[in-house]
């Protein structure tokens, strides 16, 4: 990644990813629209309508924009046996509380109905990533499919409570992967994250490929932390 400060000759255009700078912050954004604003009687100065990663839309002058250049991180080919284990993955307090509350409710367990399914959450992550890095859409799509596969694997092997296993075995598993993804929600995704360091050695990945996947797992965790209120059961 390289960042170069914009000069008056920089050509900013709609759809570009840029850095927005002020005295106190520096954040990434996408240019939505450009127009010229009259300054004085004759001088035109360009201003830009931008959208930040948090969804904030506003107009800013060109002097507050810096060029942002980024290339996709291509997944490396497997080359060597896995040596380095993944670190323990942690969740912020509100997400841990979702899991604690769910565990308490297992004493009187009934099959829940989630307003936002695991499948929808993964798709939300894809759309979020594609908006930030439109030039990496195919890579993000593959990473999202990989996260779904990890979810299915951990659900089948490690992430279900004993109370949930009969329904999964009798009803969901025979229907296939999509039924599983649609039946479960955010708590099951959080369980997947917590058990990933335990099961990653079974995936037989190289160190480079393992690190590549871990980067996307961390990005997914950040996405959940920023958006979990949209995913909880209503």
pLDDT in tens, 70-128: 445 445 544 444 446 777 888 999 999 999 999 998 888 888 888 899 999 999 999 99
Q: What is the DSSP letter of 83?
A: -
Query: If we measure between CA atoms, which residue out of 142, 225, 129, 144 comes closest to residue 186?
Result: 225
Give the residue with greater pLDDT, 207 vs 176. 176
At CA 158, angle to CA 118 and CA 161, rounded to 5?
Answer: 80
- Starting at the edge strand found earlier in the chain, the sheet holding 57-61 runs 2-4, 65-69, 17-21, 26-39, 43-52, 57-61
Residues above pLDDT 70, as percent of the chain = 79
Domains and CATH numbers, the chain: 16-67 (2.30.30), 93-232 (1.10.274.30)
Q: And the tokens for 82?
A: 């896995």
Q: Mapping DSSP to helix (H, G, I), strand (E, B) and coil, where does residue 166 land?
A: helix
Identify the DSSP state of 228.
G
Q: Pick from 38, 28, 93, 39: which is nearest to 65 by CA?
A: 28
- Tally of residues, the chain: 234
- With residue 67 as reference, give the H or E element that holds it: strand 65-69
Average pLDDT value for residue range 191-218: 82
């Amino acid at each position: 990644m390289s960042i170069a400060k914009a000069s008056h000759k920089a050509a900013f255009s709609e759809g570009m990813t840029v850095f927005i700078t002020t005295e106190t912050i520096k954040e990434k954004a996408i240019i939505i629209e450009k127009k010229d604003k009259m300054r004085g009687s004759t001088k035109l100065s360009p201003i830009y309508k931008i959208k930040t990663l948090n969804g904030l839309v506003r107009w800013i002058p060109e002097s507050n924009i810096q060029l942002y250049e980024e290339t996709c991180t291509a997944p490396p080919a497997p080359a060597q046996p896995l040596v380095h284990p993944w670190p323990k993955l942690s969740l912020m307090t509100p997400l841990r509380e979702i899991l604690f509350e769910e565990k308490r409710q297992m004493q009187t367990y009934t099959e829940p109905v989630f307003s936002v399914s695991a499948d929808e959450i993964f798709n939300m992550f894809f759309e979020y990533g594609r908006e930030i890095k439109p030039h990496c859409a195919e890579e993000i799509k593959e990473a999202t499919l990989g996260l779904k596969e990890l979810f299915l694997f951990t659900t089948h092997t490690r992430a279900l409570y004993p109370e949930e296993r009969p329904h999964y075995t009798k009803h969901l598993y025979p229907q296939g992967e999509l039924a599983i993804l649609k039946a479960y929600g955010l708590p099951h995704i959080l369980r997947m994250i917590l058990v990933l360091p335990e099961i990653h050695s079974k995936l037989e990945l190289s160190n480079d490929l393992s690190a590549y996947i871990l980067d996307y797992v961390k990005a997914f965790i950040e996405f959940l932390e920023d958006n979990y209120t949209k995913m909880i059961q209503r």
